[in-house]
Structure 1
Amino acid sequence: MKSSSLQKRLGLGLTLGMTLLWLGATVGAWLVVQHELNEAFDSALEETAQRILPLAVLEISNREESREAQHIATLKVHKEYLTYLVRDAKGEILMQSHDANPKIFNKQLREGFSTTEKYRLYAASALRGTLFIEIAEPLGHRREAAREALFALLLPLLALIPISLLGTWLFVRISLRSVLAYRRAVEARGAGDLSPIKVARLPAEIDPLADAVNHLLERLRKALEAERSFTANSAHELRTPLAATLAQIQRLHHEAPEGSLRLRAAKIENSLRDLARLSEKLMQLAKAEGGGLLAEAPQDLIPLLAHVVDEWNHSNGHRIGLQLPDEASVYSAIDPDAFGILVRNLIENALKYGAVNQPVEVSITGQALLRVVNGGPVVPESVLQQLTERFVRGRSEVSGSGLGLAIAKTIVQGVGATMTLVSPATGREEGFEVRVQFCADTKNER
């Protein structure tokens, strides 16, 4: 499962939390505003009724026909938000505003506020309950005012959300700058770099973790150094007694008469030779694991490869074919000794496990791709993936330590290259191929 970014989670979480709080505060403010608007509108209704009612009483009292309904003329045509009726105790209309609709008013006369489906009403009386005025206001007018108040509160919020998201993201990024630097320092490390990771001003929550990682790296470095030192020292200390013992066995084999004694001496000699080769392989493995695989300056791989192949051809009957690129030089940062160990192990593996009647083909391209190809039966995929493990051999009937490809893999990983095993070989129906892609140095002029 892919892990999510802490920066992303904090940025989105904080922005979402702030947005929800703002929305809650906006809704609460809107409810308060709506309540205050209703109080203001009700107060306006009541105040209007109290102002109009004395004028209406005076107007009706001065009429010749006081019970006759009268429409109040308007100075100019306009839409009225407030309409009113003035009625007597029996409900007869005595006065009304020019745009009043009698159907929206209450049929039963009663003082105070009342609400219908579409209107808010207020009624007041005068002359001991003989005259009533009732004022109506559309509820849609109040809802429109409430909506406008809500939009006035929400519109700034819509503008603040992206600004807060950007601000939160920048704040979190700045706060996690040291954590990101620590991550980059870990990612940039090679497989063999076990030195402490030093990043300044880590957060208090991360600092103990960084210290624990550094302690673990130090313990791992000491353990690996002890293992490599033991391997190298053991192999080195074995060389001298092995060489002396091998010389004595060879002398004994030469001086022994024909018979079982000479046969036993020959077997011992072969066993000592295998042990000497194993000792040499262990020393190579210790060098491959001990670092120092990169040169201070890029090295030209073509003369190094030609020298190793020429050396093997002199000792193995010219079974190795070499193909070089048209380029004059192919540079890479690998150490010459490490490159020699790598090529020798690949060639030795090809000679040992390849078909005896087919030559080994070694080539390098201008893009620093090294190929070592040998004939022989196809290696199954299940076996192919295990050949780079230590002490794993392709064919059990062939003698060997099973360390050649493991040493090659360790060197390849140490220099940042890649190694691929292919069977059948490219362009063939059989055979085995090892490809090593080095990081070519583009500066080919020294």
Structure 2
Amino acid sequence: MKTENSLQKTLSLWLTVGLTLLWLAGVLASGLVARHEINEVFDSALQETAQRILPLAVTEILNRDAAAGPGRAPATEDHEEYITYLVRDNSGNILLRSHDADPSVFNTKPKIGFFETPSHRIYGDSAVSDTLFIEVAEPLAHRRQAAIETSLALLLPLILLVPVSLICVWWAVRFSLRRVLVFRQSLETRGNTDLSPITVTRLPAEFGPIATSINQLLERLRNALEAERSFTANSAHELRTPLATALAQVQRLKTELAEEPTHQKACEIEESLQDLSRLSSKLLELAKAEGGGILAEKESNLVPVLRTLVSDYDRLHPGRIQLEAADMPVTSLLDPDAFAILARNLIENALKHGSETDPVTIRLLQDGTLTIANSGPAIPPEAMPQLQNRFVRANNKVSGSGLGLAIVQAIASSANLKLSFYSPARGREDGFEAELNVVIRP
């Protein structure tokens, strides 16, 4: 499944990664600079040590007995000696050395100036007309250790700075995008029938045109839907009166006609006018379902509405309806008229398409769950998704406009109710069942 990309998450992640990389580059550059400065300081220390020790060494060598052999500077206490030195003549003979000096570290012949061996950095100087030479050596490992410890001292704060920076960047990005988040929430929380303009102030300049374009699109869509609903309602309303008049005239004419062929034609005309009358009524119901007014200002008990509807249909179709309604009130913000239209269309659909030998089962539970089930041929699975479309009928042999389930779906969508269809009906091997929960709370 494709994960959702969050602008806030992406900005926070990449800004933190970018800052971390910049800090690492800064630490690396600082480490290189520090290493260069450390080498300069240590070289200066080597040179200063040589220049300080050389006069003292010359004095000691010249004042001691020549037969005494090479001297060795005594150590006041045992310690790790980082800097060692040798004082030699121009032939390389050792005349004086520090207590921990290793002659193998130095070259066989003395040199003047800075130079390196595989393991040490050495500085050499001379005195007494280049007859005495001093070489001061320092391990390169000591310098590397100092450079590493300095770099670690610069790097360790990043362990704390990276999570802190992540929190700071996340907060800064969230604060900067707070209006965008409000804009997103306003789009997510509104229902699919809410076409009112989006009112989010002080959006970032990059998102301002998006909000404007959405509002313009909503305005155009609202105008188009209102025009369609107005046309549907007005057309259906204007047709009712002439249809009723024409139907009355045909019924009167039918009673006056005695000849069978003419009488049969009058009956067909009457049936067509009745179909048109029913269609106009369905169009009015569809216009009401799509035009709002689905929710009431206060809760109403829906049980008496359902009982009244069932009583009316029971008189027209005796024994074909079985009602199981809750004894306690089932209150909801769903408008009673809208509920009556919804229940009426579901009942009519069940009566038309259900078996005449098995009753239509209607249940309204205490939690507001309404189920209407009928027996009869099961609907193929591929035809189920099309049932909610306008002018679609599962069985073309049955009379009807194909608007009943479309009206039910329109009311359910306007009220944010979940409408479910099952075929075969649950617990049966055939039939059709509709289910939804009609309870809406403030």
- TM class by shorter chain equals over 0.9
Residue 362 in 1 paired to residue 362 in 2?
Answer: yes
Q: Does the residue aligned with 1:252 lie in a helix, a strand or coil? A: helix
- Name the residue aligned to 2:31: 30
- Name the residue aligned to 2:153: 152
Residue 381 in 1 paired to residue 376 in 2?
Answer: no
Q: Does the residue aligned with 1:333 lie in a helix, a strand or coil? A: strand
Q: Does the residue aligned with 1:73 lie in a helix, a strand or coil? A: coil
What amino acid is aligned across from residue 128 of structure 2 in structure 1? Answer: L
Q: Does the residue aligned with 2:88 lie in a helix, a strand or coil? A: strand
Shift of 1:3: 2.9
Kept after mapping to 2: 8 A contact 1:84/1:134: yes
Kept after mapping to 2: 8 A contact 1:293/1:334: yes
C-alpha distance in 1, partners of 2:235/2:288? 13
C-alpha distance in 2, partners of 1:75/1:192? 94
- Is 384-393 or 126-135 further displaced after alignment? 126-135
Residues 272-291 of structure 1: CA deviation (Å, up to 9, x unaligned): 11111111111110000000
- Matching of residues 106-121 of structure 1 within 5 Å: 106-121=107-122
Residue 53 in 1 paired to residue 71 in 2?
Answer: no
C-alpha distance in 2, partners of 1:438/1:279? 26
- Name the residue aligned to 1:390: 390
Q: Does the residue aligned with 1:385 lie in a helix, a strand or coil? A: helix
Q: Does the residue aligned with 2:373 lie in a helix, a strand or coil? A: strand
Shift of 1:51: 1.0
Please report the RMSD computed on the Cα atoms of aligned residues, expressed in angstroms. 1.3
- Name the residue aligned to 2:106: 105
- Name the residue aligned to 2:312: 311
Kept after mapping to 2: 8 A contact 1:67/1:94: no
C-alpha distance in 2, partners of 1:54/1:33? 32
- Name the residue aligned to 1:334: 334
Q: Does the residue aligned with 1:117 lie in a helix, a strand or coil? A: coil
- Name the residue aligned to 1:127: 128
C-alpha distance in 2, partners of 1:192/1:16? 43
Kept after mapping to 1: 8 A contact 2:330/2:439: no
C-alpha distance in 2, partners of 1:318/1:239? 32
Shift of 1:67: 7.2
Residue 161 in 1 paired to residue 166 in 2?
Answer: no
Residues 324-368 of structure 1: CA deviation (Å, up to 9, x unaligned): 124x11111110000000000000000001111111010011111
> TM-score, normalized by length of structure 1?
0.96
Kept after mapping to 2: 8 A contact 1:60/1:66: no
C-alpha distance in 1, partners of 2:307/2:205? 56
C-alpha distance in 1, partners of 2:440/2:308? 20
- Name the residue aligned to 2:18: 17
C-alpha distance in 2, partners of 1:295/1:59? 113
- Matching of residues 78-93 of structure 1 within 5 Å: 78-93=79-94
What amino acid is aligned across from residue 43 of structure 1 in structure 2? Answer: S
Percent identity of the aligned residues? 53
- Is 58-67 or 429-438 further displaced after alignment? 58-67
Shift of 1:156: 2.2
Residues 361-405 of structure 1: CA deviation (Å, up to 9, x unaligned): 100111111000000011111111211111110111112111100
- Matching of residues 337-352 of structure 1 within 5 Å: 337-352=337-352
What amino acid is aligned across from residue 190 of structure 1 in structure 2? Answer: G
Per the alignment, do residues 261 and 66 of structure 1 end up closer, same or farther by CA in structure 2, a change over 3 Å counting?
Answer: farther
Kept after mapping to 1: 8 A contact 2:375/2:431: yes
Q: Does the residue aligned with 2:17 lie in a helix, a strand or coil? A: helix
Shift of 1:143: 1.2
Kept after mapping to 2: 8 A contact 1:281/1:403: yes
Q: Does the residue aligned with 2:314 lie in a helix, a strand or coil? A: helix
C-alpha distance in 1, partners of 2:436/2:79? 91
Kept after mapping to 1: 8 A contact 2:325/2:363: yes
Per the alignment, do residues 9 and 197 of structure 1 end up closer, same or farther by CA in structure 2, a change over 3 Å counting?
Answer: same
C-alpha distance in 2, partners of 1:34/1:419? 74
What amino acid is aligned across from residue 146 of structure 1 in structure 2? Answer: A
- Name the residue aligned to 2:205: 204
- Name the residue aligned to 1:423: 423
Q: Does the residue aligned with 1:418 lie in a helix, a strand or coil? A: coil
- Is 422-431 or 289-298 further displaced after alignment? 422-431
Q: Does the residue aligned with 1:292 lie in a helix, a strand or coil? A: coil
C-alpha distance in 2, partners of 1:223/1:5? 33
C-alpha distance in 2, partners of 1:103/1:64? 26
Residues 218-265 of structure 1: CA deviation (Å, up to 9, x unaligned): 111111100000000000000011011111111111111232111111
Shift of 1:2: 3.1
C-alpha distance in 2, partners of 1:86/1:221? 100
Name structure 1 gaps, 5 residues minimum: none
Q: Does the residue aligned with 2:126 lie in a helix, a strand or coil? A: strand
C-alpha distance in 2, partners of 1:85/1:291? 103
Residues 88-135 of structure 1: CA deviation (Å, up to 9, x unaligned): 111111111111111111123221111122211111112222211111
What amino acid is aligned across from residue 337 of structure 2 in structure 1? Answer: D
C-alpha distance in 2, partners of 1:75/1:380? 104
- Name the residue aligned to 1:287: 288
Shift of 1:66: 5.8
C-alpha distance in 2, partners of 1:276/1:66? 140
- Name the residue aligned to 1:250: 251
C-alpha distance in 2, partners of 1:382/1:137? 88
What amino acid is aligned across from residue 375 of structure 1 in structure 2? Answer: S
C-alpha distance in 2, partners of 1:107/1:308? 118
- Name the residue aligned to 2:406: 406
- Is 22-31 or 342-351 further displaced after alignment? 22-31
Residues 177-227 of structure 1: CA deviation (Å, up to 9, x unaligned): 111111111112112111111111111111121111111111111111000
- Is 195-204 or 341-350 further displaced after alignment? 195-204
Kept after mapping to 2: 8 A contact 1:66/1:94: no
- Name the residue aligned to 2:5: 4
C-alpha distance in 2, partners of 1:178/1:11? 17
